Amino acid sequence: MNRKFIHIILIFCAIWVLLPFFWMLMTALKTNNDALKFPPSLIPEKFMFNNFIEAFKAVNFSRYFLNTLIMTTGTTLLVYLTTVLAAYAFARLRFRGRELIFAIFIAMMMVPMPVYLAPSYVILSRLGWIDTFFALIIPWSVNIFAIFLLRQHFKTLPQELFDAAKIDGLNDLQIIKNIVIPLSIPVLVTIGIFEIISSWNSFLWPLIATHSDSMRTIQTGLSYFAQAESTNYPLLCAASTFTTLPLVILYFFVQKQIMESYARSGLKE
Amino acid sequence: MKKKVEFAGYLFILPAFLVMALFRGFPILQAIRMSLYDWSIAGPLKFIGLKNFYRLFIDPKFYQSLGNTFWYVLGVVPLTIAISVFFAYLLNQKVKGQGIYRTIYYLPVVTSIVAASVVWKWLFNPDRGIFNAALDLLGIHGVKWLNDSRGINEIIFSRFGLDLSGFFAGPAIALIALMIMAVWHNLGYCIVITLAGLQNVPAQYHDAARLDGAKGWGLFHYVTLPLISPTIFYLLITQSIIAFNTFTPVYVMTQPPGGPLGTTSLVVHYLYEQSFRLWNLGYANALAFVLFVIILLITQFQKRFFEQRVYYE
């Protein structure tokens, strides 16, 4: 095929992909009257940067951001803790039932969330966790796929390292801290990015696990905002913009790692 | 010494094990138990055996959501994969700016589906949306998008005097709007995966085929496609599961929830309605259980029928 022709097709697709982003941003900057004009004007008559502030204050978005930050940080840190320990045990320690437990973990990973949604809610309410950070964080503090990924990696580390460490009198925790973790940074970064994105964007779980306004995450907050302000498109688009922005910024900094982490999460399953 | 090692192993998996037991294992078993009860927000009311399954079996709304999901998966998955293979193939032609294109195509993948739904609902707005503004220029007027409950087959075949209804009416325009957004959202991921698959194909295969005179479509069809068939098969399985579990766009974009006349109600959304709006938790779990079996069956079906066509080196 002709080079130019290829580029035309590729650019066409790029425009199609970017159009919703462009339109979100343009609408976010319009006055409500301007946004409702038809046919619409591509560029706002007047740039209403104030819309962002207005949308941010219209509902308690600062609280939603804080909640999401707490949820994302908590989940990611706990996933690191549980994952490193479990992956180390599955890869380097001997104990009865090791392979069986691992296989059961993997099988559980295959069960889609809707299947255990209602019973999880019942359990959360029995524990009195509904509307708390426990409900947002603890059930997602293990990522089986991350354990799988890290276990594979730990298995590739040379046995001599561990023998030498044992001779030097290091215990397992010291080995993890001083040897294993420094040698696993790329995999750990992958896991962290994956956790941040999925936690930041999670919706169905926060929707059922929290009720009160002060416990909303930005995703559930945005969804409520969209229902309440269903016709104020500039404010809706402004809110959508700042909901999306943090991950888009992260994406531009670490896009290689993001693509790799998703690629890995796929091909090795 | 050995005892001590065993102990450490259990201790290290304990945190993960506790969470998994409490929030995966137990709920999964509990789901089976709950499906046998009349179970409301107050807790188990009565053991009713398989009655929930029987109710499900005769529930027209369940069948409607299942039919919608069927059309949705059947539309979104092959379309996304076909388009992504096409674009990955183009990108793999060592085009200039490959990295930039890839960066752009991937952007929707990191975008929250809630924000995307809010924006796409605006794009699809029948009176003020940009899609209808563009269609106006082409002389197509008044597409109702998310408000249109007419099935696509229904529309097409009504021209020939055929009156199709129910499942055979096909996906409603409203559901097709959701499908278009889903393709947009997942395309970048599929392109990147397929591109990685293409780049893993050793150059000598193509060189050898070219020496034998293969080119264009023949080269693609007989050499490239078989070599990336494991990637495509993988995408088929995972994308089907993802599409099957679609919830958020239905929840955010369609009003009333489930769309006009229930035409965008997908099974997971119906599950949510039954669980958390109507609090028929027992019934919802019967539904969840059936859903799980369906997903397993579809995955097995895909393995049976497509894996034999996958070429593993």
What ipTM score was computed for the predicted complex, to two decimals?
0.92
Residue B40: beta bridge partners?
A: B43
Q: Is residue B1 part of a domain?
A: no
What is the distance of C-alpha A252 from the center of its chain? 15
Q: Is residue B19 part of a domain?
A: no
Each residue's pLDDT tens digit, B243-277 = 999 999 999 999 888 888 999 999 999 999 999 99
Q: What is the pLDDT of residue B4?
A: 62
Domain assignments of chain A as residue spans, ordered by start: 1-48, 59-267
* Range B90-117 average pLDDT: 93
- Structure confidence at residue B200 as a pLDDT band (50, 70, 90): confident
**What's the gap in Å between the CA of A170 and the closest CA on chain B?**
14
Q: Which residues of A touch B12 (CB under 8 A)?
A: 85-86, 88-89, 93, 172
Q: Which residues of B touch A113 (CB under 8 A)?
A: 245
Q: What is the pLDDT of residue B174?
A: 95
**What's the gap in Å between the CA of A213 and the closest CA on chain B?**
17
* B258 neighbors B246 (Cβ within 8 angstroms): no
Is the Cβ of A36 closer than 8 Å to some Cβ of chain B?
yes
**What's the gap in Å between the CA of B162 and the closest CA on chain A?**
35
Can you give the residue range of the structural domain that contains B117?
A: 35-307
Q: Is residue B158 part of a domain?
A: yes
Q: Output the domain CATH number for residue B174.
A: 1.10.3720.10
* CA atoms of B141 and B18, how far apart (whole Å): 58
Alpha helices by DSSP H, chain B? 2-20, 26-34, 51-57, 60-91, 98-110, 113-123, 130-137, 152-158, 173-199, 203-211, 216-219, 225-244, 248-253, 267-272, 281-307
Q: What is the pLDDT of residue A263?
A: 65
Is the Cβ of A3 closer than 8 Å to some Cβ of chain B?
yes
Q: What is the pLDDT of residue B286?
A: 94
* CA atoms of B307 and B300, how far apart (whole Å): 10
Q: Is residue B113 part of a domain?
A: yes
Q: Which of residues 49-78 of A touch B (CB under 8 A)?
A: none
Q: Which of B10, B90, B247 sits opposite A204 (nearest CB)?
A: B247
Kindly determine whether residue B119 and residue A24, on different chains, have CB atoms separated by under 8 Å. Answer: yes
Kindly determine whether residue A17 and residue B104, on different chains, have CB atoms separated by under 8 Å. Answer: yes
Q: What are phi and psi of B161, to 5 degrees?
A: 80, 10
Q: Is residue B22 part of a domain?
A: no
| CA-based end-to-end distance of chain B | 45
Kindly determine whether residue A117 and residue B28, on different chains, have CB atoms separated by under 8 Å. Answer: no
Helix/strand/coil percentages in chain A, nearest 5: 80, 0, 20
Each residue's pLDDT tens digit, B215-254 = 778 888 888 888 899 999 999 999 999 999 999 999 999 9
Q: Is residue B30 part of a domain?
A: no
Indicate the length of chain B as a whole number: 313
Alpha helices by DSSP H, A128-177? 133-137, 144-156, 159-167, 172-175
How many domains in chain B?
A: 1
Supply B124's token pair. Answer: 């699809």
Q: What is the pLDDT of residue B307?
A: 77
Q: What is the pLDDT of residue B165?
A: 82
Q: Is B5's pLDDT higher than 80?
A: no
Q: Is residue B15 part of a domain?
A: no
Is the Cβ of A120 closer than 8 Å to some Cβ of chain B?
yes
Architecture of domain A59-267: Orthogonal Bundle (1.10)
Each residue's pLDDT tens digit, B280-302 = 999 999 999 898 899 899 988 88
